[in-house]
Amino acid sequence: MACLFNLFLFFSFAISSSYCYDTLNEGASLSTEELDQVLVSSNGVFSAGFHSVGQNAYCFAVWFNDPPYNDNNNPNGSTIVWMGNRDKPVSGKKHSFLSLQKDGNLVLQDGGGGGLIIWATHTISVSSTFLQLLDNGNLVLMKVKEHHYSKDVVLWQSFDFPTDTLLPLQPLTKSTKLVSSISQNNFSTGFYIFSFDDNNLLNLVFDNSREDWSVYWPPAWLKSWEAGRSTYNDSRIAVLNSMGNFSSSDNFTFISSDYGSDTIQRRLRMDYDGNVRLYSRKIDGEGWYVSWQAISDPCKVYGICGVNGLCSYDYSSGRKCSCLPGHKMKDPSDWSKGCEPKFEPSCNRNHSKFIRISSAEFYGYDYGNFRNYTFSQCQDLCLSLCNCKAIQYTFFDSTSTYNCYPKTLLANGYRSPTFFGDLYLRLPKSYDNNTTTLEESSLKCFDEPELLNKEKENQLVKHLLWFAVGMGGFQIICFVSVWSLLFIKNKKNSESEGGRYLIAATAGMCKRYNYDELKKATRGFKEEIGRGSGGIVYKGVLPDDRVAAVKLLINEANNNDQGEAEFLAEVSTLGRLNHMHLMKMWGYCAEGKHRILVYEYLEHGSLKQNLSSNVLDWEMRFEIALGTAKGLAYLHEECLEWILHCDVKPHNILLDSDYSPKVADFGLSKLLKRGELNNSAFSRIRGTRGYMAPEWVSNQPITSKVDVYSYGLVVLEMLTGRSPTTDVQTVNDTGEIENRRSLVSWVRETIKETSSDEIAVLLEKIVDPSLGGEYDMKEMEKLLEVAMKCVEEDKGARPTMGQVVEMLLDY
């Protein structure tokens, strides 16, 4: 048959089963008693038939066959793309069947339920009909043409009734939507919906039809045009093409990370965890991988930890849910149901107290927004309301006042170190303070099969997006899309932060190069432009004519396969980081013992070179200090990978054509020596003499504050023009040259010696003489103040990089 022929043609292996038809004719049926009776599309890619969804439970479904495309019904390996009766599975023990009736109706009857009709297409046709599974995965019910000159007519098609998946060229329209399933193994209708709303906008909605309904993508606080959307076109249609370009009538578009190849299988799915992801699979049969997703930060999915739950990030396992103090999980197996109070809520204001949960935010369900309220006013307000569950008390930057938001429902809670606001939870006074800790439990994370497959060379796919999923849990992904920065941006501070998270708009695709390509690009590693602890950097020109900095890593790890897989996982993380103040990684090479990173090339070289050649005026120095702080803050906080740089110094801060700084060499400490957080290797002294925080030598835990310390020294170096690596020489009162003091203690002592109202005198003593006295005193003072805070010996006294940014912007 045609089907057999095609299979032989394209995949050249033998087929054993007798079932290989793509068509079900009128009067015929498929039964749960013979599960290997399935329709197979003529290209062998899709099957339609009964699919097991639990013990003795079957759904009529369409799925991707696993390559190589044999026609065995393999319930383990197949990927379901459509279901007829997702909420009402039929019994498999008794004779349940799908039949195409003579009147043109396609019906599914449950043998267990005495032949009850579970599902039907409700089509009617007097002329004869047939059901066909097309090569694109569309299952169509056709009416046979009446005249030789007319065409077969589509009576019904599965593409018009999607479940949670959209296939290439299957339009999402006014009347269709994708609805997630309950969980990975339960395909029943879940709570997350991807569809057009009444304003013609494509969005993501959480709807558990119990107590909670909310749009969470695009972010609710953004106006549609701010999110790049348009409400103007009411055709409401969105399509993914086979190359990986998705485009919607509201102007939302994206292209997949592997865009450009139509030999890749693709499916867009509303996943049960509330994210929409595009999955891709190469035809020669490795697993699915994610080539795009809507939301980069899993805590930003609405309802993920349920009502009274709090989502937070966890370095090792990704996101984590916990119950608020005094609450317990409603259903220990399902976080989406949230938590319930263990106490009897009381309306009596005299019987309530508040406990603080720091850096926590709950979105929505505000009784109101009360500006410039003192804490006691806010508390009073809440106590006077019977249904006030808590108050969100948040600092409002632009006015330097606090806002009070009494909460009537605690939904969508998350905790982030970058959120400067607290939640005060109302509890009965009698409630024991000792038991008011958070009840935690790691969320069973998303464990789809897309994981880091050992890469085999594949010429088909040049741009691969590696996901570390599966290598020990869901890692928070700092995925680069415009959305990530929109979500990351704290809505309440957005005015004052002026572009804090401006991220280069392009998707961060990280390309794998082979050694010969890079050798050629650098003309045999000829032009050295830098040298550091991690390796040597050469200038090169890539095949696509981009000028690049190519870093040959000194590879200390042994070069077994394990090392390569880990390297790839790390590189994938770094490659996805995308921030205007971080040096962009374009690609990498891992071949044999070679480990090479390819970065953008920055023409003005390092801050170190520029400081020594005296080209930086005062304003540039301030902007460099601010930009560097933003880059580091992004590494520490926003990107949620908690990447410590560990070697911040002027050599690692590069300047682009506008003298805008970009932090380089981040993540190298991780790349070169892995697993450091758990073993003692990490406590080995790292970094560069002069810029190292005292923790490195005093055997204290290493935290992001080591970078803050080094940053402080970089700022001092820019201020004073003196390098902390060479001893500071000063002339003391008696005219002798002193050269024993460190830069920090010299500045500290100079400050001490000068009385506080003589700031001009102090600055004159400290500031780089090459500036010739041309600087803004206020700015300079601010920078000095920030730098001195950063170089506190006690790491607890140092600000976070996020706070540094705030302080500098505040100025």
Ligand X SMILES: *[C@@H]1O[C@H](CO)[C@@H](O)[C@H](O)[C@H]1NC(C)=O
- Comparison of 399 and 506: residue with beta carbon closer to ligand X: 399
Kindly indicate which of the ranges 231-239, 404-412, 578-586, 634-642 contains the residues binding ligand X, using the contact rule CB under 6 A. Answer: 231-239
> Which DSSP symbol is given to 770?
G
Written as six digits, the tokens of 25 are 């004719």
Rule CB under 6 A: which of 410-449 touch ligand X? 432-434
Residue with tokens 């300079």: 780
Active site residue 727: no
For ligand X, the closer of residues 353 and 520 by Cβ is: 353
For the bound state, the minimum distance from the C-beta of residue 795 to ligand X, rounded and expressed in Å, comes to 27
> Looking at beta carbons only, is 403 or 800 nearer to ligand X?
403
Q: Among residues 60 and 634, whose Cβ is nearest to ligand X? A: 60
Of 273, 397, 647, 768, which residue is the catalytic one?
647
180 binds ligand X (CB under 6 A): no
* Whole-angstrom distance, CA of residue 505 vs CA of residue 52: 43
Contacting residues for 69 by C-beta, under 8 A, at least 6 apart? 7, 11, 43, 44, 45
Query: Under the criterion CB under 6 A, does residue 377 sit at the interface with ligand X?
Result: no
Query: Judged by CB under 6 A, does residue 408 bind ligand X?
Result: no
Check: CB of residue 343 under 8 Å from CB of residue 326. yes
Per CB under 6 A, the segment of 241-249, 268-276, 492-500, 600-608 that binds ligand X is 241-249
Identify which range of 264-272, 345-353, 620-628, 772-780 contacts ligand X by CB under 6 A.
Answer: 345-353
Q: Which of 27, 54, 285, 499 binds ligand X (CB under 6 A)?
A: 54
Instruction: Assign residue 408 a region (left: φ > 0; alpha: ψ between -120 and 50; beta: otherwise).
Output: alpha
**Residue 350 or 756 with smaller CB distance to ligand X:** 350
Backbone CA torsion sign across 111, 117, 119, 124: positive
401 binds ligand X (CB under 6 A): yes
Closest distance between ligand X and the C-beta of residue 529, in Å?
33
Q: How far is the CB of 482 from ligand X (least distance, A)?
A: 12
Cβ at position 799, least distance to ligand X in Å: 24
DSSP 191-239: EEEEEE-TTS-EEEEEE-SSS-EEEEES-TTS-TTTTT--S--TT--EE
For position 399 contacting ligand X by CB under 6 A, the verdict is yes
Q: Does 52 bind ligand X (CB under 6 A)?
A: no
User: 459 to 498, contacts with ligand X by CB under 6 A?
Assistant: none
Q: What is the spatial distance between Cα 211 and Cα 387, in angstroms, rounded to a whole number?
A: 15
Residue nearer to ligand X on the CB measure, 164 or 665: 164
CB 295 within 8 A of CB 301: yes
Q: Is 182 in the site for ligand X (CB under 6 A)?
A: yes
Distance, in Å, from the CA atom of 445 to the CA atom of 317, rounded to the nearest integer, reads 8
Binding of residue 237 to ligand X (CB under 6 A)? yes
The least CB distance from residue 172 to ligand X, in Å, is: 11
Q: Quick check: 398 binds ligand X (CB under 6 A)?
A: no
Describe the crossing of helices 743-753 and 777-790 by its angle, rounded to 10 degrees.
120
157 lies in the binding site for ligand X (CB under 6 A): no
> How far apart are the C-alpha atoms of 703 and 677, rounded to whole Å?
10
Q: Which two tokens stand for residue 688?
A: 């560069």
Please say which residue, 305 or 786, places its beta carbon nearer to ligand X: 305
364: Cα within 13 Å, side-chain hemisphere: 21
Three-state secondary structure call for residue 24: strand
In the bound complex, what is the minimum distance in angstroms from residue 493's beta carbon to ligand X?
16
Closest to 276 (Cα-Cα) out of 261, 258, 256? 256
291 binds ligand X (CB under 6 A): no
Dig out the tokens for 469 from the structure.
Answer: 């999923």
- C-beta of 809: minimal distance to ligand X in Å? 19
Under 8 Å CB-to-CB from 175, ≥6 apart: which residues? 160
Nearer to ligand X, 188 or 533 (CB): 188
Q: Contact, 622 vs 783, CB < 8 A? A: yes
Which is nearer to ligand X, 485 or 653 (by Cβ)?
Answer: 485
Q: Which is nearest to 64 in space by CA: 168, 176, 141?
A: 168
Residue 72: other Cβ atoms inside 10 A = 15
User: What residues contact 359, with CB distance under 8 A and at least 6 apart?
Assistant: 415, 416, 417, 418, 419, 420, 421, 422
Query: Which residue numbers belong to the known binding site for ATP?
Result: 551
Virtual torsion, Cα 71, 76, 77, 83, nearest 10 deg: 80
**176: its two tokens:** 């269709």
d(CA 585, CA 574): 7
Query: Helices 759-766 and 743-753: crossing angle, nearest 10°?
Result: 150
Within residues 92-131, the interface with ligand X by CB under 6 A covers none
Among 25, 235, 437, 458, binds ligand X (CB under 6 A): 235
Q: 771: number of CA atoms within 13 Å, CB side? A: 26
Can residue 232 be called a binding residue for ligand X (CB under 6 A)?
Answer: yes
Tell me if 355 contacts ligand X by CB under 6 A: yes
Q: Which of 575, 512, 521 is nearest to 543 (CA)?
A: 521
184 touches ligand X (CB under 6 A): no
Task: Report if residue 350 touches ligand X, rule: CB under 6 A.
Answer: yes
Binding track over 76-95 against ligand X, x by CB under 6 A: x-------------------
- Minimum Å distance from CB 99 to ligand X? 25
Stretch that binds ligand X, among 159-167, 349-357, 409-417, 516-524 (CB under 6 A): 349-357
Ranges within 742-801 binding ligand X (CB under 6 A): none
How many whole angstroms from its chain centre is CA 509? 14
Find, among 39, 36, 35, the residue nearest to 93 by Cα: 35
CA 468 to CA 472: how far, in whole Å? 8
For residue 381, the SS3 value is helix
User: Residue 199 interacts with ligand X (CB under 6 A)?
Assistant: no
* 230 touches ligand X by CB under 6 A: yes
- Selected range binding ligand X among 140-148, 226-234, 305-313, 771-779, rule: CB under 6 A: 226-234
Determine, following the binding rule CB under 6 A, whether residue 348 of this chain makes contact with ligand X: yes
Binding mask 57-76 for ligand X (x = CB under 6 A): -----------------x-x
Residue with smaller CB distance to ligand X, 49 or 661: 49
Minimum CB separation of residue 462 from ligand X in Å reads 16
Q: H-type helices in 243-291, by residue range?
A: none
In terms of phi and psi (left: phi > 0; alpha: psi -120 to 50; beta: otherwise), the region of 285 is left
CB-nearer residue toward ligand X: 188 or 725: 188
- 56 vs 660, which CB is nearer to ligand X? 56
Nearest approach in angstroms of CB 179 to ligand X is 13
The answer to whether 236 and 200 are in contact (CB under 8 A) is yes
> Is position 233 an interface residue for ligand X (rule: CB under 6 A)?
yes
Does position 316 bind ligand X by CB under 6 A?
Answer: no
243-282 residues in contact with ligand X (CB under 6 A) are: 245, 247, 249, 251, 253, 255
How many chain residues interact with ligand X (CB under 6 A)?
Answer: 27
- Binding residue ranges: 551
Task: Give Cα 768 to chain centroid, integer Å.
Answer: 42
**Shortest spacing between CB 683 and ligand X, in angstroms:** 32
Q: Binding of ligand X at residue 346 (CB under 6 A)?
A: no
| Counts of helices then strands in the chain (DSSP H, E) | 14, 46
- Nearest CA to 712 among 796, 801, 787? 787
Among positions 6, 101, 188, 703, the unique one binding ligand X when judged by CB under 6 A:
188
Q: Which of 23, 372, 562, 612 binds ligand X (CB under 6 A)?
A: 372
Active-site annotation, residues: 647
Q: Could you list the residues that contact ligand X (CB under 6 A)?
A: 54, 74, 76, 182, 186, 188, 230, 232-233, 235, 237, 245, 247, 249, 251, 253, 255, 348, 350, 353, 355, 372, 399, 401, 432-434
